[in-house]
Amino acid sequence: MTATLVEIRDAIRSRRTGAREWVEQAIAAIERLEPQLRALVSYDADRARKLAREVDERIARSQEVGPLAGAPLLVKDNICTRFGPTTCASKILENFQAPYDAHVVERLEAAGAIILGKTNLDEFAMGGSTENSAMGPTRNPWALDRVPGGSSGGSAAAVAAGMVPAALGSDTGGSIRQPASFCGITGLKPTYGRVSRYGLVAYGSSLDQIGPFARNVRDAALLLEIIAGHDSRDSTSVNSPVPRYTAALDTPLDGVRIGYAEEYFGEGLDPEVRQAVEAALDVYRSAGATVVPIHLPHTKYCIACYYLVATAEASSNLARYDGVHYGHRTAAPEDYIDVYCASRQEGFGPEVRRRIMLGTYALSSGYYDAYYLKALKVRTLIKQDFEQAFGQVDVIACPTAPTPPWVIGEKINDPLAMYLMDVYTVSANLAGIPGISIPCGFSGAGLPIGLQLLGPHFAEERLLRIAHEYQRHTDWHTRAPQIAAG
C-alpha cells in the first residue's frame, strides 16, 4: 500500500474507491509481510472487513461519515482495546482482555478509522529496539537483519513496509521518534497532556505520551487532529482547544529561527548522521529560515536523569502485576509470598525486571534523596534550558538517534549501550515538550536517518509546519523499502 492517509480518506469520501478496497489491500500486505517482519501481536481481518462494509453502506446511503472513514490503521499493543488482547508484548499479560477502549481508540473509531490490529513493542515499552518482546523481535523493513527501533518498532515497521498508511505508538523516552528515524517515516511525540493517556498501559506516567506514525507530516497532522483533546478521565489531560493542524501546514517559513545546539553534535554521533542533519539545516536556510546557535547546558545529565525518573515510575506502575489481581499467576506457588515472586519472575522479561529493580533501588529508604529527588531537580533544570532556548528560537533541530539502525542482537546484552541510543530523545519527555522525527537521508549502507525537531509546549502547529516545509523541498519521505513493493 503506497497511498497516504489523506489520499485514502479523499478517495473514499469522493466514492472513487470503497473502504473495502483499502482494507483488503492492508490485509494482503499484512499476510504477505508479517512472516518476515513480525510487526504485529494480533490482527482481526474479519472485524476489519465488517467495519469496511458498514462504512461503504453509510456512504452509499449518503449518510455522514467521520474524517477517517474507512482508513486502515494499527495501534501499539500497550493501548487498550476491547477487541483483541492487550499484551504489552509481555507473558504477564499474555491473555489479558481489556474491558474498555483507550481514549485514542474511541477517537479513531468515532472518526471512522478501521483498526486492523495491535503492533509489537519492547515489553511494557521498555527498550529501544523491539527485541525485548515476549513475542519475538520485529525486523526493519529496510534491512531485515536490523532493528526497527523501539519501543514502538512494530508500528513504525508496519507503516514503512506499507501494511497501513499510519499507526499509533507511545513515546516515553523516544519510542515514537527513534523508530520513525530507523524506519524512514514521520513520527510525532505531542506535548505531555495534549493526548489523553486513558487506556495507555503505564510505564513512566509523567513521561508517557501517545502519538502518530505516518509517511509524511500531513498525515501525522491529520491523525493528531483526531486523537488530541481534553479527556476528563486523564487528570494530566490539558483542556485547551485543538488547532486544525492540517490547515496551517502551508504557511510560508520566512522569519523562522531554528536552534542548533552543540550539545547534540558531540561525541558518539555517527559522521553520516551528522552530515545528513547538517544538510537538512542547509535546506532550511535555502527556504528562508535562520539557524541560530544555542546552548542546552544540562543535556549531559539527561540520560542519567531519565533512567532514574523512568525506572522509579516503572517500579511503582508495575507493582500491580502481582499474580493476584489479573495477569499471569504462577501454577504451583509454595505460599502467598511465592505467588508474587514466582508470578513476576515468570511473567516479566529481563529488561523489565532490570528496570523495576533500578527504580525500586532509587526509591528505597536512604537512597531516595540521593537519586530520585536529585533527578527531579535536574529535570527542572533541563526544562529551564529549553524555556530559555525557546526565547531565542522557534524550534530546535538535531539528530533523532546518534547512529543508523544496528544489527539485531548487537546491543541486546549491553544495556548501557542501548540506553545511550536515547541521548537525543529523552530530554523532550523530561521537559514535556513536543518532538517530531522526519526522514532526512540514508547512510552509505542504505539505512534511514532521521532529523528531529523540538518545539515549545503546545507548539505542535508550528512544529508540523516547519517539518512539512522540509518535506516540500525534499523527497526522502517518499522513498519506500524494496520489501514494500512486493
- Pairing between strand 166-171 and 72-76? parallel
- HSE, side-chain direction, 13 A CA sphere, residue 292: 19
Secondary element (H or E) of residue 448: strand 448-454
CA-nearest of 423, 416, 415 to 452 is: 423
Q: How far apart are the first and last CA of the chain?
A: 10
- CA-CA-CA-CA torsion for 253, 254, 255, 257, nearest 10 degrees? 40
b/e per residue, 257-290, with b = 16+ CB within 10 A? ebbbbebbeeeebeebbbebbeebbebbeebebe
List beta partners, residue 168.
Answer: 75, 212
At position 445, the amino acid (one-letter code) is: A
Q: Largest Cα–Cα distance in the chain?
A: 70
CA-nearest of 162, 366, 376, 396 to 291 is: 396
List beta partners, residue 167.
Answer: 74, 213
The DSSP line for 155-197 is HHHHHHTTS-SEEEEEESSSTTHHHHHHHTSEEEEPPTTTB--
Where in 366-444 does DSSP place strands (E)?
A: 395-399, 435-442
Asked if omega into 151 is within 30° of 0 (cis), the reply is yes
**CA–CA separation, 158 and 178 (whole Å):** 15
Q: Say how far residue 361 (Cα) sits from the centre of its chain.
A: 28
Q: What angle do CA 216, 130, 184 make, to 5 degrees?
A: 25
In degrees and rounded to multiples of 5, residue 43 shows phi and psi of -155, 155
Q: In the sheet where 114-119 sits, what is the strand order?
A: 40-43, 114-119, 72-76, 166-171, 209-214, 186-189, 435-442, 448-454, 395-399, 257-261, 290-294
Active site residues: 76, 151, 175
**CA–CA separation, 186 and 205 (whole Å):** 24
CA-nearest of 156, 187, 172, 84 to 124 is: 172
